[in-house]
């Protein structure tokens, strides 16, 4: 198991759209965050015309499985 030197936040964006823009704004304020994006969330991103332009310490992981 890898040892993490800096604790990280984990945030999941789903396709619900409920509080989506507010969540997006909060993620921008966090440092060292891993953002998991579902397929449905990608659709909501397009609807709200949002881009995944998070701070440099943020990692974005896309879920491309059938259940996403």
Q: Which domain holds residue 20?
A: 15-62
Residue 9 forms part of a structural domain: no
Residue 36 forms part of a structural domain: yes
- Which residues have a Cβ under 8 Å from the Cβ of 33 and sit 6 or more positions away? 8, 9, 10, 11, 27, 54, 55, 57, 58, 59
Structural domains counted in the chain: 1
> In the structure, what pLDDT confidence band is assigned to residue 65 with cuts at 50, 70 and 90?
confident
pLDDT in tens, 4-49: 688 999 999 998 878 999 999 999 999 999 999 999 999 999 999 9
| Integer Cα distance of 46 and 49 in angstroms | 5
State phi, psi for 67 to the nearest 5 degrees: -85, 0
Residue 41 forms part of a structural domain: yes
- Token code pair at residue 28: 């921008």
Residue 68 forms part of a structural domain: no
């Amino acid at each position: 198991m890898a040892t993490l030197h800096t604790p990280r936040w984990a945030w999941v964006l789903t396709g619900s759209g409920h509080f989506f823009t507010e969540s997006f704004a909060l993620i921008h304020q966090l440092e060292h965050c891993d953002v998991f994006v579902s397929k449905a969330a990608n659709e909501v991103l397009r609807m709200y015309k949002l881009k995944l332009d998070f701070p440099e310490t943020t990692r974005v992981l896309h879920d491309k499985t059938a259940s996403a």
